[in-house]
Amino acid sequence: MNTAMKELKKVGRELTLLMNTAALLGWDQETLIPEKAIPERAEQLALMEGISHAKLTDPKVGDLLDKLGADEKSSSGNENLSDEDRAYIRVFYRNYHRASCLPSDLVEEMARASSLGQSVWVQARKENDFGKFAPALEKILGLNREAGRLINVGDHPYDSFLDEYEPGMRKAELDVTFGALKEDLKSLVKRIKDAGQVEMGFLKRDYPEELQEKFGNYILKELAYPLDRGRLDVSTHPFTTTLGNHDVRITTRYGEPNPFSSLFSIIHEAGHGLYELGFSDEIAGNILAEGTSLGLHESQSRTWENMIGRSLPFWEKYYPEAQKTYGNALSDISLETFYKGINAVKPSLIRVDADEVTYSLHVILRYELETALFEGTLSVNDLPAAWNAKMEELLGIRPDSDANGVLQDVHWSVGLLGYFPTYALGNLYGAQFMDKAYKDVPDLDDQVRKGNHAVLLEWLRENIHKHGSAFTASELCVNVTGKPLDASYFTQYLNKKYGEVYGL
CATH top-level class of 171-502: mainly alpha
**Mean pLDDT in residue range 287-309:** 96
CA distance linking residue 287 with residue 158, whole number of Å:
25
CA distance linking residue 24 with residue 40, whole number of Å:
15
CA distance linking residue 209 with residue 499, whole number of Å:
33
pLDDT of residue 73: 86
Our answer to whether residue 269 is catalytic in this structure is yes
Amino acid letter, residue 353: D
Answer yes or no: is pLDDT of 424 > 90: yes
**Mean pLDDT in residue range 168-181:** 91
How far is C-alpha 70 from the chain's CA centre? 30
Amino acid letter, residue 472: T
Q: What is the pLDDT of residues 383-408, one digit of tens each?
A: 999 999 999 999 999 999 999 999 99
**Mean pLDDT in residue range 451-473:** 97
* Better pLDDT: 246 or 104: 246
Q: How far is CA 468 from CA 111, 135, 278, 426, in A?
A: 26, 38, 8, 16
Answer yes or no: is pLDDT of 46 > 90: no
Beta bridge partners of 234: 252
Torsion of CA 125, 126, 129, 134, to 10 degrees: -40
- Number of Cβ within 10 Å of residue 370's Cβ equals 23
Confidence of residue 168 (pLDDT cuts 50, 70, 90): confident
- Is residue 316 within 8 Å of 338, Cβ to Cβ? no
Answer yes or no: is pLDDT of 104 > 90: no
- Reference 384, options 191, 186, 128; nearest CA is 128
**DSSP for residue 466:** G
Residues contacting residue 427 through CB under 8 Å, at least 6 positions apart: 298, 299, 302, 356, 359, 360, 490
- Is residue 31 within 8 Å of 235, Cβ to Cβ? yes
% helix, strand, coil for the chain, step of 5: 65, 5, 30
- Number of Cβ within 10 Å of residue 175's Cβ equals 14
Q: What is the pLDDT of residues 206-243, one digit of tens each?
A: 999 999 999 999 999 999 999 999 999 999 889 999 99
Confidence of residue 344 (pLDDT cuts 50, 70, 90): very high
pLDDT of residue 462: 97
For the chain, give the number of residues: 504
CA angle 435/367/177 to nearest 5° reads 40
Answer yes or no: is pLDDT of 378 > 80: yes
CA distance linking residue 417 with residue 419, whole number of Å:
5
Answer yes or no: is pLDDT of 256 > 80: no
CA distance linking residue 91 with residue 252, whole number of Å:
31
Rg of the chain, C-alpha, whole Å: 23
DSSP string, 150-212: HH--SSSTTHHHHHHHSTT--HHHHHHHHHHHHHHHHHHHHHHHHH-PPP-GGGGS---HHHH
Beta bridge partners of 240: 250
CA distance linking residue 482 with residue 417, whole number of Å:
31
Answer yes or no: is pLDDT of 349 > 90: yes
pLDDT of residue 468: 97
Beta bridge partners of 249: 231, 241
Q: Which residue is catalytic, options 269, 276, 305, 356?
A: 269
**Mean pLDDT in residue range 348-357:** 90
Answer yes or no: is pLDDT of 108 > 90: no
Answer yes or no: is pLDDT of 1 > 80: yes
Answer yes or no: is pLDDT of 351 > 80: yes
- Reference 373, options 361, 386, 359, 389; nearest CA is 386
- Reference 256, options 349, 193, 326; nearest CA is 349
- Reference 120, options 131, 142, 136; nearest CA is 136
pLDDT of residue 72: 84
pLDDT of residue 478: 96
Q: What is the pLDDT of residues 177-211, one digit of tens each?
A: 899 899 999 999 999 999 999 999 999 999 999 99
**Mean pLDDT in residue range 154-165:** 91
pLDDT of residue 107: 86
Domain map of the chain by residue range? 2-127, 171-502
CA distance linking residue 257 with residue 421, whole number of Å:
26
How far is C-alpha 329 from the chain's CA centre? 32
